[in-house]
């Protein structure tokens, strides 16, 4: 028998919710494009989507890309890194972000994380900052914004002799629609990168990305770079399609509602799991300071590794609930990153990753369903607790 929960046995392949409005938008854009005098060129739709997204984030400029990966590549390219220039980033991360730093010629310097948020620990960043530091790549892990104020202050304290304070580049691939305590994610730092890949909080038909910035020169350069450099410099084709932009506009209008569903489900989990002594729950907020792209739990230090794996296995096997470790230190999973950073370890990041698991969360989950998932988590933790003692 397939239990109802079985549908959440894996990480949801589509993070957003699609409705008839998205279907209508695609069809309208498709019909329009079939005219040989119009075609599929994104031009106007792309502009409308960019303007709407920029306004939503409180950013002066928004530049659409075909993915967050290429967008981050090009933002890093705009740093014009010289050999030995350093970029600091949190050890728990999406591998793509670190691959991008290395590919663009940066020396990747990994920093420890705050175990409560999985985000960069500003104090540890400050210890690792040097006169070669050109940028701090800040990933808002799993939908929770990092401590931007602290990072801005420390960047200002450590001016590079030629290039000024290290640039804050924010990877908000998982934090579209979140707020960082001062304002919307996307309004701060040098550049913020968003992803509209299929699993993310909103999606433009499975792939897509956006950069927001307040820097007019960066915006101009990013526009050139996605269009073969517009005869002024090197470039390639990183453009979003018209159909993607049309759907993006619809998804953006519904983003707050989709995020609110996630927030409500996470709050319900916090409420139901509060008394489980073995579990460390994600920090709580009232507003959109965490949009719960993923709901992260920590098991006790004594359960690190083996018993954490047992929890995940039992949840999946006995209850049809999928969970993932998001994310382990990138240098443990990607051999190139390991080779690049050489032999050093980040013990805190490694130990937290061994205790971490994120049970599936999706805006289409019903509250009753969420409740039975919590009951399953409690039963599983209790059974592991008995074997552990
Ligand atoms: C998904 C993701 C990316 C890459 O986004 P794409 O649009 O798939 O290229 C980058 N960083 C983080 C943190 C992500 O979660």
CATH of the domain at 172: 3.40.640.10
Mutate to test the pocket of ligand 1, among 173, 185, 200, 210 (most ligand atoms within 8 A of CB): 173
Instruction: Find the residues whose C-beta lies inside 6 A of ligand 1.
Output: 67-69, 94, 96-97, 139, 171, 173-174, 195, 197, 209
**Final residue of a domain: which of 192, 217, 250?**
250
Considering the domain boundaries, does residue 11 fall inside one? no
User: Rounded CA gap, 114 and 92, in Å?
Assistant: 10
Q: How many CA atoms lie within 13 A of 19 on its CB side?
A: 11
Q: How many residues does the chain have?
A: 389
What is the residue with the minimal CA distance to atom 14 of ligand 1? 173
What is the residue with the minimal CA distance to atom 12 of ligand 1? 173
Q: Give 139: exposed, middle or buried? Use CB within 10 Å, 0-12, 13-18, 19+.
A: buried
- 237 and 349 in a common domain: no
**Final residue of a domain: which of 214, 229, 250?**
250
Mutate to test the pocket of ligand 1, among 89, 174, 192 (most ligand atoms within 8 A of CB): 174
- Ligand 1 mean position, distance from CA 173 (Å): 5
- Sign (positive or negative) of CA dihedral 116, 377, 261, 286: negative
Considering the domain boundaries, does residue 6 fall inside one? no
User: What pLDDT is recorded for position 7?
Assistant: 82
- 203 and 149 in a common domain: yes
- 210 and 131 in a common domain: yes
What is the residue with the minimal CA distance to atom 5 of ligand 1? 68
Domain that holds residue 322: 256-388
CATH number at residue 382: 3.90.1150.10
- 320 and 291 in a common domain: yes
CA-to-CA separations, 213 to 63, 206, 225, in angstroms, rounded: 9, 24, 15
For 375, the token pair is 């009951």
- 265 and 169 in a common domain: no
Which pairs count as long-range contacts for 181-184, CB under 8 Å and 24+ apart, including other chains?
Answer: 181/145, 181/148, 181/149, 181/289, 182/148, 182/149, 183/58, 184/56, 184/57, 184/58
What is the residue with the minimal CA distance to atom 1 of ligand 1? 173
Considering the domain boundaries, does residue 3 fall inside one? no
- 278 and 191 in a common domain: no
What is the residue with the minimal CA distance to atom 8 of ligand 1? 197
User: What is the total count of domains within the chain?
Assistant: 2
Q: DSSP states of 341-352 as a string?
A: H-S---HHHHHH
- 196 and 63 in a common domain: yes
- Ligand 1 mean position, distance from CA 60 (Å): 23
What is the residue with the minimal CA distance to atom 2 of ligand 1? 173
**Final residue of a domain: which of 232, 250, 268?**
250
Q: CA 123: distance to chain centroid? A: 22
Considering the domain boundaries, does residue 73 fall inside one? yes
Q: What are the DSSP E strand ranges found in the chain?
A: 61-65, 86-90, 107-111, 133-139, 167-171, 191-195, 209-213, 297-298, 323-324, 356-359
CB 213 within 8 A of CB 170: no
Q: What is the number of the ligand 1 atom nearest to the C-alpha of 209?
A: 7
- Ligand 1 mean position, distance from CA 385 (Å): 36
pLDDT tens per residue across all 389 residues of the chain: 445 556 898 999 999 999 999 999 999 999 999 999 999 888 777 789 999 999 999 999 999 999 999 999 999 999 999 999 999 999 999 999 999 999 999 999 999 999 999 999 999 999 999 999 999 999 999 999 999 999 999 999 999 889 999 999 999 999 999 999 889 999 999 999 999 999 999 999 999 999 999 999 999 999 999 999 999 999 999 999 999 999 999 999 999 999 999 999 999 999 999 999 999 999 988 888 999 999 999 999 999 999 999 999 999 999 999 999 999 999 999 999 999 999 778 999 999 999 999 999 999 999 999 999 999 999 999 999 998 87
CB 270 within 8 A of CB 279: no
Considering the domain boundaries, does residue 281 fall inside one? yes
């Amino acid at each position: 028998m397939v239990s109802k929960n079985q549908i959440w046995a894996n990480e949801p392949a589509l993070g957003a919710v699609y409705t008839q409005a998205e279907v209508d938008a695609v069809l309208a854009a498709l019909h329009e494009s079939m005219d040989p005098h119009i075609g599929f060129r994104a031009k106007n739709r792309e502009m409308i989507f960019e303007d709407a997204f920029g306004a939503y984030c409180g950013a002066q400029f928004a530049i659409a890309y075909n993915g967050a990966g290429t967008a981050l590549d090009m933002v890093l390219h705009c740093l014009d890194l010289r050999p030995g220039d350093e970029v600091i980033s949190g050890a728990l991360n999406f591998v793509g972000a670190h691959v991008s730093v290395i590919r663009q010629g940066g020396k990747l310097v990994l920093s420890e994380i705050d175990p409560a948020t999985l985000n960069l620990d500003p104090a540890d960043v400050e210890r690792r900052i040097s006169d070669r530091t050109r940028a701090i790549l800040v990933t808002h892990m799993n939908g929770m914004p990092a401590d931007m104020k602290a990072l801005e202050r420390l960047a200002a304290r450590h001016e590079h002799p030629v290039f000024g304070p290290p640039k804050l580049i924010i990877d908000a691939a998982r934090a579209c629609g979140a707020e960082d305590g001062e304002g919307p994610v996307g309004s701060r730092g040098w550049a913020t990168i968003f992803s509209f890949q299929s699993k993310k909080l909103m999606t433009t038909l499975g792939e897509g990305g956006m950069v927001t910035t307040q820097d007019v020169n960066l915006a101009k350069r990013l526009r050139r770079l996605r269009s073969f450099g517009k005869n002024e410099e090197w470039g390639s084709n990183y453009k979003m399609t018209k159909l993607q932009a049309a759907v993006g506009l619809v998804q953006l209008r519904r983003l707050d509602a989709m995020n609110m569903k996630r927030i409500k489900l996470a709050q319900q989990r916090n409420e139901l799991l509060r008394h489980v002594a073995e579990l460390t729950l994600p920090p709580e907020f009232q507003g959109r300071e965490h949009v719960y792209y993923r709901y992260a739990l920590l098991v006790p230090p004594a359960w690190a590794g083996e018993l954490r794996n047992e929890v995940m296995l039992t949840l999946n096997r006995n209850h049809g609930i999928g969970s993932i470790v998001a994310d382990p230190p990138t240098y443990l999973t990607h051999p190139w990153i390991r080779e690049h950073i050489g032999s050093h370890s980040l013990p805190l990041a490694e130990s937290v990753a061994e205790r971490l698991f994120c049970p599936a969360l999706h805006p289409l989950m019903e509250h009753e369903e969420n409740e039975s998932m919590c009951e399953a988590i409690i039963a599983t933790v209790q059974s592991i607790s008995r074997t552990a003692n």
